[in-house]
Amino acid sequence: MSSMSLLRIASRGTSKSFFRANRPVAPTRSSVSFIPGLVAGSSLNFSTTVSRKSAAHHEETFEEFTARYEGEFEKVQDVFELQRNLNNAFAYDLVPSPSVVEAALKAARRVNDYPTAVRIFEGIKAKVENKDQYQQYLEELKTLREELGVVLKEDLYPEEAK
């Protein structure tokens, strides 16, 4: 078919039989009364799945959160699991406890991932409310940091420190 004939077909508009099989047919007014699900406002027009209520949802306490993530970091066997657990732990609207950070640092050492260990402290710095809280975390984790040889980003790049 030449391009000229395609142009003629396009300019004519759609005929009654052109693409009719691909187009859904709207029910006429007389056929609506015979189809019970097509009545306006009927619940049959939508999915019939059961809606689930979240009333049975358990609110996790900070202690439960801490215990759960300590356990998660103890089970870490590769870098992917470590980073996934860190992303999940830092996604909450709270700062993980020093024991969770300690478990994460030990997991980073176990999978031999030094850059992630440095990034853990960057995550803490971003999550805390002020510099004093960050200093308290550093003091609490100082012995572990020295034992594992984790250097802070501020020490690695002092000109970028603010």
- Asked if 105 and 150 count as a contact pair (C-beta separation under 8 A), the reply is yes
Q: What is the pLDDT of residue 59?
A: 87
Domains of the chain as residue ranges with CATH: 62-155 (1.25.40.40)
Grade residue 4 by pLDDT with cuts at 50, 70 and 90: low
Question: Would you state the torsion angle of the CA atoms of residues 69, 102, 76, 67, taken in this order, to the nearest 10 degrees?
Answer: -20
* Cα Rg of the chain, angstroms: 31
Per residue in 16-60, pLDDT tens?
555 555 555 555 555 455 555 555 555 555 556 656 665 566 788
Q: 127: which DSSP letter?
A: H
Q: How far apart are CA 93 and CA 59, in angstroms?
A: 14
Claim: this prediction has a pTM higher than 0.85: no
Dump the DSSP string for 24-44: PPPPPHHHHTT-GGGSTT-GG
Min mean pLDDT across 55-69, 100-114, 118-132 is at: 55-69
Min mean pLDDT across 42-56, 61-75, 82-96 is at: 42-56
